Amino acid sequence: MRPEMIVLQNGRVLDPATGVDGARTVRIENGRIAAIDDPGARQPAGAQVLDCAGRWIVPGLVDLHVHLREPGEEYKETILSGLRSAVAGGFTAVVSMPNTKPVIDNAHLVRFVLDKAKEAGLAKVYPSGATTKGQKGEALAEYGDMKSAGAVMMTDDGHPVMNPGIMRRALEYAKAFDLPIMVHEEDLNLAAGGCMHEGTVSMRLGLKGFPAAAEDVMVLRDIELASLTGGRLHIGHLSTAGAVRAVREAKRRGLRVTAEATPHHFTLTDEAVATYDTNAKMCPPLRSQEHVDAVLEGLADGTIDAIATDHAPHSSVEKDVEFERASNGIVGLETAVPLTLALVRRGVIGEKRAIELLSTGPCRAFGLPGGTLAVGAAADVTVIDPAAEWTVEPASFESKGRNSPFGGWKVQGRAVLVMVDGRIVHGGEQRSR
């Protein structure tokens, strides 16, 4: 049971959606934001008061790109363990990927994900459905049925839609339901089985490279198809300078194109692969510094709409093998906040922009609820301690996955309280009074 009224006081309210930035008191009643008051404002009797001194009170964080692995690969993650990981990282909502076993390409499986999420009672889940049946890139899935069941976008994430005719029809079909299509951009002919970024590091290590052009050409193709069809295109886990340029130009042209970048792509370079650490293997691969710099510029200038984790837990079965054979992906939900705040400390982006990229921006990209602390909105709230110093210990993750290249890193910044619809789902007890 939740208290009918919770007051968050003494904190800095930082809400990019409304422009509020300063000391405020947030009052929550019956699961919604009831008031944003000046400090010291008299509060109704009977409220549970939480002291947020030295902390930021921000709209609940939203991750557009999360692999929950259920159904089919529960040994890697379940919807419950994935959502425990989400709230531990500060996220009040996630968009789940459809590349499960079986692939989520029908309304029945969309409802399965929603039922499991409701049972977990933690972060909200917005399921995605597959662009094509079985993610085979051949026949379109039933978008209308999946949207009616609760799907918020379509994607063959993990697999590019290689046939441009299929991709055109996907954009046209999704447009009829006002759904975005999220794309995994990889020209398989150019990538040719490469397992890391193609460059001097891959040459030194003797590993087959995945050139940046394999991503660039697909991004350029799909932007032109978005222009042709008027469809909504979202570029998943963008990683190259060419992709950033293409998205920037698409926005200048007024096309319905959005994009996300991951913390690992803006934090690490391909040098992280130098020890053949499979925790640094992902797709798209970690790029060279020039590409990282371009992604950072895109985050700062508004080209990139959202930071998404591409949370992809694996077991030791998939990771404790030779680099070429290892599965792609890392656990991302629990390290996104400190890696994003590191950009603030480096002066790459400001504090408001960091929160926008983690909350308001993702909601705006997919038209999701949330991303604001406006009075009347659902009380999805994250409280961040920007000064909290801690060491990343994968063994302590709430996720079942331990595959992180950030193990042992000393970081700063952490979500210390998370509320979903006014209910505390993570932290907060120690400052309650």
Q: List, by residue number, the catalytic residues.
A: 310
For residues 27 and 34, the answer to whether their CB atoms sit within 8 Å is: yes
Q: Whose CA is closest to 153, among 265, 58, 59, 256? A: 256
Beta bridge partners of 35: 27
Size of the chain, expressed as the number of residues it contains: 433
How many angstroms separate the CA atoms of 47 and 27, rounded? 9
- Residue 138: strand, helix, or coil: coil
Residue 395 tokens read as: 């063994």
How many angstroms separate the CA atoms of 152 and 150, rounded? 6
- Residue 391: strand, helix, or coil: strand
- Residue 211: strand, helix, or coil: coil
H helix or E strand, kind and range, residue 9: strand 5-15
Cα 238 to chain centroid, rounded: 12
Whole-number Cα distances in Å, 301 to 33, 232, 258, 295, 349: 31, 21, 13, 10, 9
How many angstroms separate the CA atoms of 242 and 216, rounded? 6
How many angstroms separate the CA atoms of 58 and 16, rounded? 9
For residues 281 and 318, the answer to whether their CB atoms sit within 8 Å is: no
Residue 263 tokens read as: 């913390």
Tell me how crowded residue 74 is: count the other CB atoms within 10 A of its CB: 16
Residues contacting 354, CB < 8 A, separation 6+ = 340, 341, 343, 344
Q: Whose CA is closest to 38, among 27, 53, 23, 50? A: 23
For residues 270 and 323, the answer to whether their CB atoms sit within 8 Å is: no
Beta strands in 105-172 (DSSP E): 124-129, 153-155
* Distance between start and end Cα atoms, the chain: 18
